[in-house]
Amino acid sequence: MTAISLSDRTRRVYSASLVWDNTFPFGPSCGSERAHLATLARMRAAGYSCVSLTTASDNSDMPDAVRKIARDLALFRERADEFVVVREADDIPRAKAEGKLAVVFTFQGTLPFERNVELIALYYRLGVRQALMAYNQRNNVGDGCHERTDAGLSRFGVEVVREMNRVGMIVDCSHTGYRTSMDVLELATAPVVFSHSNPRALVDHERNIRDDQALACARTGGVVGVNGVSLFLGGPPDAERMFRHVDHWVSLLGPAHVGLALDAVSEPAALLSLIGAKAADKYPAAQYAETPSFADPALVPELAEAMLRHGYPEETVQGVLGANWLRVARQVWRTP
C-alpha cells in the first residue's frame, strides 16, 4: 500500500484521537507470536491507542483458553514499557497519555465457556472484556452466520447473555447467525456490539450484516465496527472503500454507533491454510472462493483523512476512530 500525504488538519485530529481497533486475531491460526508482536509494533507506529486481541475462540476449550490468557499476560508483563493490559476503561486514555498501547482481551466465540456460565465471571477477572456469540458455525449458544440453519438463541445462550450483562462483559454478535443475533439484541440489558461486521447492503456476503441487525444494535446503545477484509469490503482494502462502509453505517445509525475493527491478519498464509479443506464447514467454499486480503494498520490515518475530506465533523471522526468504543466500555464494564 502506498501511503498518502496527510493534511495538517488530519494529523492534528488524528493525534488528538483515541484510536481503537476492536479486532486483532492474536492466536496461532493467524500467525506466530513474533509476527503478532510485529503487527502490534506497526499499530503503535500508526498512532493506535488500543487494540482488542482475540486471545481465544470457538477453536478453544476452557483449558486452552486459560493457558492462552496466562501466556498473553506473561507476554505483556515482560513488555510493560510498551503495553498496558486493560482492566478498566480509564486504563485506555492513561495508556495513550503514557505513550503505550492498551490491549484488551476478547473471545471470538463462546466455546471457552463450555456449558458453565460460572466461567464467565472467572474469565472477566482474568481480563476478558468481550465475547462474540458464535463463530460462523453452531455452538452451545446459537447458530453462526454460515450455519445451514438459522435457529435462534438457545436456552443456554439466554443464560450466557444474562451472565455477561451481569458481570460487565460486552456481548458481540459478529460472525453470529441472523436469528441468534436478533434474539440477543432483544434480550440484552446493556449495549451490544457487532465488533467487525460490514453492511450486507453493500456486499452480499453471509459474514456481513443486514441493516435491521445494525439498527437493533444501535437501539441497545451499541456500536458496529467496519473491518478491512477484502471479501467483506467488495475489493482490496483502501481508504475510500472502507469509507463507503463507514458512511453507510453512519448514515443509517448515526455517528455515535460506528467504529473500526480491521481484523488484520499477521501471517495470511496461516489463515488461508485453515480456510482450506481443514475448515470447510467453518469457511464454506462458496463464500470464500476468492483469496482475501487484509488492511494494513497504516490505512487508518488515511481513513481519517477520507472522513474529513468527505465533510465529516471532527467529533464524528474521533468517535469512529475509537471514542465510540470507549463509551460502550465505560457503560458496560464493571470493576471485577
Closest Cα partner for 55 from 132, 138, 137, 160?
132
Per-residue pLDDT of the chain (336 residues; tens, 9 = 90+): 445 689 999 999 999 999 999 999 999 999 999 999 999 999 999 999 999 999 999 989 999 999 999 999 999 999 999 999 999 999 999 999 999 999 999 999 999 999 999 999 999 999 999 999 999 999 999 999 999 999 999 999 999 999 999 999 999 999 999 999 999 999 999 999 999 999 999 999 999 999 999 999 999 999 999 999 999 999 999 999 999 999 999 999 999 999 999 999 999 998 888 777 557 788 898 899 899 999 999 999 999 999 999 999 999 999 999 999 999 999 999 987
The letter for the amino acid at 65 is: A
CATH of the domain at 323: 3.20.20.140
Contact assessment for residue 295 and residue 155, using Cβ atoms and an 8 Å cutoff: no
- The CA radius of gyration of the chain, in Å to the nearest whole number, is 18
In this prediction, residue 46 carries a pLDDT of 96
Closest Cα partner for 112 from 123, 125, 126, 121?
123
DSSP-assigned beta bridge partners for residue 144: 176
Q: Is 152 exposed, middle or buried (0-12, 13-18, 19+ CB in 10 A)?
A: middle
Does residue 1 lie within any of the structural domains? Answer: no
Distance CA 87, CA 148 (A): 38
32-46 burial by CB neighbour count: b if 16+ within 10 A, else e?
eeeebbebbeebbeb
In this prediction, residue 1 carries a pLDDT of 42
In this prediction, residue 270 carries a pLDDT of 87
Strand ranges (E), the chain: 20-25, 50-57, 83-85, 101-108, 128-132, 170-172, 192-193, 224-226, 258-260
DSSP-assigned beta bridge partners for residue 21: 51, 260
Does residue 2 lie within any of the structural domains? Answer: no
| Residue 190, C-beta contacts closer than 8 angstroms, at least 6 positions apart | 165, 168, 170, 171, 220, 221, 331, 332
Closest Cα partner for 39 from 233, 325, 328, 295?
295
- Identify the domain containing residue 212 by its residue range: 8-332
The letter for the amino acid at 12 is: R
Q: What is the DSSP letter of 2?
A: P
The count of structural domains within the chain is: 1
Does residue 25 lie within any of the structural domains? Answer: yes
Closest Cα partner for 22 from 81, 137, 103, 128?
103
Does residue 274 lie within any of the structural domains? Answer: yes
Does residue 139 lie within any of the structural domains? Answer: yes
CA angle 35, 287, 149 (to 5 degrees): 115
Does residue 51 lie within any of the structural domains? Answer: yes
In this prediction, residue 280 carries a pLDDT of 74
Cα 134 from chain centre: 14
Does residue 168 lie within any of the structural domains? Answer: yes
Distance CA 333, CA 291 (A): 37
Does residue 3 lie within any of the structural domains? Answer: no
In this prediction, residue 323 carries a pLDDT of 98
In this prediction, residue 2 carries a pLDDT of 44
